[in-house]
Amino acid sequence: MSEPNFDAPATGPRPPLRRRPPPRSGRSWGLRSALIVGALLLAGTVGLVGWLALHPPAPPEGVEVTIAIAPPGPAPAAPPQAPTVPDAAAPSPASPAPPQEAARPPAAAPAPIPPPPSTAAPETRVPFPTIDGLAPVPDNALIERTAEGLLPKIGADGRKPWQVYARPFDPNDKRPRIALIIGGLGQSSAATEAAIQRLPGAVTLAYTAYARNLPQWVDLSRAAGHEVLLTLPMEPVGYPANDPGPHTLLVSLSEAENRARLTWLMSRFAGYSGVVNLMGSRFTTEAGALKPVLDELNKRGLLFVDSRSSLSSVAGKMAGEIKLPRAVNNRFIDTKAARPEIDKRLEELEQIARSEGVAVGIGAPYPVTIERITQWVQQLDGKGIALAPVSAVVDRQKD
């Protein structure tokens, strides 16, 4: 049989022609294949994760699983009883958990906060444990309770506030004595703290009746060994242009009015040995106005210090006449708050003490005054002079 001749023209009717689709390129087919495979993998992964979430595998037997989540803040206080381990996670006694998977110990409970101190006054007060400290005040047997407040009084057994509240001093000490009084305390916290803490305990501190927190200041002063006085404002020359305060004792007032003012002043705090006058260059020269005040102080067992704001003062002499324990100021040591002037006044006190046996000086709580006194007292022992509280020089001066 001869082979067909494909190049020969066809004879008779031709069958219809069928067009083949164009061949696909290799790049298009690879991209679609990748997308299909990726979709299948994603669907399988999602399905597997969902199945695992609904059917978690059980932990191997004997292995403790611990999930520790650190809290954002401090660990909460642990309960007082020992923590228990859930049954599902309890370790097997035969197979202890590996060290790296051991459960963390419970956090220690924070220290309990102490309750605030009670504000109620204790029935009895324990003396300060310091060697130089004085007993707390007041002594209940030496106070009178009034509408104004607590007033000093002589005890039923004859004890007097000026002696009970005094700083002890060796009566056998025969050296010349100098008593220093720092007044105007209580109004400036910084100045008052400096006087209490920096000055020797033998320096006497005088508080103004207008200051705040006077009982606390007195407690701190006595804890540091300081004897305490109350400052009495008295009328000066030039009043009212020169005014020491609203409760000043005035020559123009009646005896009853001055007694009422004196009662208010004395009731501001308790525990003082006596009083020292503030200003008073007019009042201390008027015997008629002054005597009822000194009588009241004497009746209450206090001592009186005449600051001698006037050379014409009759307060010291009158106090001696009525047997009121008294001391008289010899020098204001810092009328000029400068080192040379203060040092000069302190030297003058030394000379007076040597010649008369005692001397009294009054100053203010200026920083330079405190600084010069702290330097000066370090030399007194070498000079054979004793620094004494004002109660130790009472009634030792000539009129």
The string of pLDDT tens digits covering residues 38-66 is: 667 776 666 665 665 555 555 444 444 44
Q: Residue 389: what pLDDT? A: 98
Domains, the chain, ordered by start: 147-393 (3.20.20.370)
Q: How confident is the model at residue 97 (pLDDT cuts 50, 70, 90)?
A: very low
Q: Residue 398: what pLDDT? A: 84
pLDDT in tens, 250-259: 999 999 999 9
- Measured at the alpha carbon of residue 310, what is the angle toward residues 305 and 313, in degrees to the nearest 5? 60
pLDDT, average across residues 339-366: 98
Q: How confident is the model at residue 331 (pLDDT cuts 50, 70, 90)?
A: very high
pLDDT in tens, 5-26: 444 444 445 555 555 555 555 5
pLDDT, average across residues 236-249: 95
pLDDT, average across residues 303-318: 96
Is residue 229 scored above 50 in pLDDT?
Answer: yes
- Note the pTM of the prediction, 2 decimals: 0.68
Dist. CA 135–CA 228, nearest whole Å: 12
Confirm if 269 and 207 have CB atoms less than 8 A apart. yes
Dist. CA 265–CA 151, nearest whole Å: 10
Dist. CA 383–CA 11, nearest whole Å: 159
- Measured at the alpha carbon of residue 221, what is the angle toward residues 216 and 222, in degrees to the nearest 5? 100
Q: Residue 33: what pLDDT? A: 63
